[in-house]
Amino acid sequence: NHPDYDVDGGRDLDIFDINEGTQTRNSIIGDQYRWPKTIPYYMEDDLEINAKGVILKAFEQYRLKTCIDFKPWSGEENYISIFKGSGCFSSVGNRKVGKQRLSIGTNCDRIATIEHEFLHALGFWHEQSRADRDDYVEIMWDRISEGKEHNFNTYDDTTSSSLGVPYDYGSMMHYSKNAFRNGTEPTIVTKIPAFSDVIGQRMEFSDSDLLKLHRLYNCSSTFLDSCDFERENICGMIQGPGDKADWVRVSTAAGGPSTDYSNMGKCTGSGFFMHFNTGTANTGDTALLESRLVYPKRGYQCLQFFFYNSAGPSDTLKIYVREYDSANPNGALRLIKTIDGSPQELWQLHHVSLDAKKKFRVVFQGAKEGSGPSTGGMSLDDINLSETTCPEFVWRVSNFSDVMDKTPADTPIFSPPFTSKEGYTFQMGLYPSGKAGYPGELSAYAHLVAREGDTGQTWPCPWKQITMMLMDQHPHIQKRMSNQRSVTTDPNMTATDSNQFFWDDPRKVGVEVTDADGSKYFRGPGAGTPVYLTHLRAKSRDFIKGKDAIFLLTMEDVSHLTGVQPPPSVIPTPGTTVATAAPGVCLNVECLNNGVCVVDGGMPECRCDVGDDWWYYGDRCQNKGSIKDKTTLALASSLSVLAAMLIITLVTVVCLKKKYKKRATDDGITMRNAGATC
């Protein structure tokens, strides 16, 4: 058995480590250096295969959470060329130089690092370089390593814009407290002490990172759907036609969950989910809950939801898509998956892969199939529909805080073995209290597994990328800051203590182990990192929910990335870029109420702030509107119209009365009430 392999050499590389030197290469530039929303890229031959796979995963996060997309370079004049340099660095913004290089070097192949570098390329600088930096953090200049002081420069409002977004301690563009220190004391001290260990996160985009990106690039959402059922409109979902029962929005269900999954009963007055009561249903009854209409772009989707099954053992939940076209204007149902089995008293995470290519709805059909008694029903919460591929495997670790606190150091726990569609079996090894020498850390490693009698695999295992993600269980997938690391099985890699291939058959290079159920198999050496995530961060956000942690695991074939990305057949034509205005075009434009000046078509333009039920408008964002104002205006308009109609009616009556009175006088007739007496 060979020792585990640390993919980053056991170092917890920080953003400041990998970006060292960037400051001397680039300067903050203006909004006129934006890229198009679809950015051409070229992956150079020297990139590591694992890095190529993680780059593609980073692109998927941009697609999921922003309006930014990426496409292979096909001859555009300006494009990003990704290569393996001495570290990780990028120019800031679109420099209009044709081939703009971005380095993903050794030990840089983690998704947050790559997202960070592409944020630089999109035009963003480090958070602590903001003009208002000193209001929120104090730089301890005497603790900074000699010659590194320039990394803590700030830039005034003429060269760097915060886009009207408050200072963000949680930004993935922020240095950690220990950046470039010359001893053991922090170089950055937060004015609010609680944020001391928040700065420097390298998990995912923060909400403010995304807000700034959306403002700079004028993003509109391309996300399909998400619903936690907190609003009474249940996100536009409808009760389907032809059923005999209904899904009902509740905060607790007799015989079912006592709380929703979104809030777990923590928030008074909130915490709702959808429930189909099978206890009162008759055999054969169904309840249909349908999503709003969805218009796909990619031809594949992932449906994710939490399901609490307290129904009868033969009752089922079926997932359909209702697809619409000219031949089926009312939609045609297509069954995708049936979920059945014995009830379990917990919210379970489910993923369903869809392949809809035309307008559709997702349909949840609860069915009372059996005649046996049922005291509960079926419950749904935290539904997310995205144009992504679903993770293959789910490993749920119960009472995870206790596991972290009570597991001895250097002691691993292992996921069940999972078999990929290519026939290779693997498992995740997790050190809840860290490997030796790494207290307060989660350490994570991927292992290949083989059983006696396994056949059909090629050894050493060629080019399979294993991804281990600790899921942030926030209800909305776009707001999650999950933590993940990937390793790739290089068939040519040898063990550090011998000439044997590291990813060879575990029956040759591994050890025999006995599982809890008594089954035996062989586990190969692990590759991963001793600094997967700190305990402090693991106990933040929604990494642990209902006491449990959820790991999403995949093994994907990346052998296609070993080839050379073909260069475009079209030679770039000079002068195809859109002319931009001078860098100072926004300097004399004042946008009010947190509006942001950007350059559109060579002219300055104020982009105004928008809230859930309010917005600013006008050429300088000087006016404010709201749903309340519109409602008041609409009511006032209606009352004005009603008053005008009433006045017209009264005038008409008076005029007619005078007309007929005059006519009666002319004819010698006196008008009187027909029922009157003298």
Full 3-state SS string of 463-502: CEEEEEEECCCCCCHHHCCCEEEEEECCCCCECCCCCCEC
Beta strands in 387-463 (DSSP E): 393-397, 413-414, 418-419, 425-431, 441-450
Structural domain span for residue 610: 588-622
Question: How far, in Å, CA of 189 to CA of 196, rounded?
Answer: 7
Q: Do 239 and 233 touch, CB atoms closer than 8 A? A: no
Write the CATH number for 60. Answer: 3.40.390.10
Query: Average pLDDT for consecutive 10-residue bins of the chain (678 residues)?
Result: 54 46 42 87 96 98 95 95 92 91 94 94 90 93 91 76 87 91 94 92 90 88 86 93 91 94 86 94 94 94 97 94 95 96 92 96 93 84 97 98 96 97 96 96 98 92 98 96 97 90 97 92 97 95 96 98 84 37 49 59 57 56 61 52 59 50 38 32
Q: Do 328 and 314 touch, CB atoms closer than 8 A? A: no
547: left (phi over 0), alpha (psi -120 to 50) or beta: left
**Same domain for 345 and 248:** yes
**Same domain for 191 and 110:** yes
Q: Report if residue 643 sits inside a domain.
A: no
Tally of domains within the chain: 4
Q: Which distant-in-sequence residues (6+ apart) come within 8 Å of 161 by Cβ?
A: 31, 596
**Same domain for 248 and 134:** no
Which residue ranges are tagged as binding site for Zn(2+)? 17, 116, 120, 126
**Same domain for 412 and 378:** no
**Same domain for 165 and 35:** yes
Q: Report if residue 627 sits inside a domain.
A: no
Helix (H, G, I), strand (E, B) or coil at 579: coil
Please give the single-letter amino acid code of residue 218: N
Q: Report if residue 653 sits inside a domain.
A: no
Q: Report if residue 568 sits inside a domain.
A: no
Token pair recorded at residue 663: 């006519």
Q: Which of 321, 356, 386 is the endpoint of a domain?
A: 386
Helix (H, G, I), strand (E, B) or coil at 581: coil
Please give the single-letter amino acid code of residue 13: L
pTM: 0.80
Token pair recorded at residue 165: 């977004």
- pLDDT at residue number 162: 80
Question: How far, in Å, CA of 497 to CA of 424, rounded?
Answer: 25
End-to-end CA distance of the chain: 123
Q: Report if residue 527 sits inside a domain.
A: yes
**Same domain for 435 and 359:** no
Q: Report if residue 493 sits inside a domain.
A: yes
Token pair recorded at residue 655: 């005029």
Q: Which of 217, 246, 261 is the endpoint of a domain?
A: 217
- pLDDT at residue number 125: 86
User: In what helix (H) or strand (E) does residue 649 lie, and over which residues does it extend?
Assistant: helix 627-666
Which single residue is written with the structure tokens 């008076």? 654
Q: Report if residue 664 sits inside a domain.
A: no
**Same domain for 552 and 537:** yes
Write the CATH number for 519. Answer: 2.60.210.10
Question: How far, in Å, CA of 161 to CA of 157, rounded?
Answer: 6
Tell me the pairing of strands 623-626 and 301-309.
Answer: unpaired
- pLDDT at residue number 644: 57
Annotate 69-137 with three-state secondary structure: EEEECCCCCCEEEEECECEEEECCCCCCCCEEEEEECCCCCCHHHHHHHHHHHHCCCCHHHCCCHHHCE
Q: Do 21 and 53 touch, CB atoms closer than 8 A? A: no
**Same domain for 360 and 289:** yes
**Same domain for 156 and 128:** yes
- pLDDT at residue number 436: 95
Q: Report if residue 572 sits inside a domain.
A: no
**Same domain for 201 and 129:** yes
Q: Which residues are known catalytic residues? A: 117
- DSSP state for residue 604 in the 8-state scheme: E
**Same domain for 342 and 233:** yes
Q: Do 355 and 299 touch, CB atoms closer than 8 A? A: yes
Q: Which of 151, 186, 217 is the endpoint of a domain?
A: 217
Least Cα distance to 80 among 94, 64, 61 occurs for 94
Write the CATH number for 287. Answer: 2.60.120.200
- pLDDT at residue number 477: 95
Which residue ranges are tagged as binding site? 17, 116, 120, 126
- pLDDT at residue number 497: 80
**Same domain for 477 and 367:** no
Question: How far, in Å, CA of 74 to CA of 568, rounded?
Answer: 5
Question: How far, in Å, CA of 455 to CA of 183, rounded?
Answer: 55
Question: How far, in Å, CA of 149 to CA of 146, rounded?
Answer: 7
Helix (H, G, I), strand (E, B) or coil at 526: strand
- DSSP state for residue 48 in the 8-state scheme: -
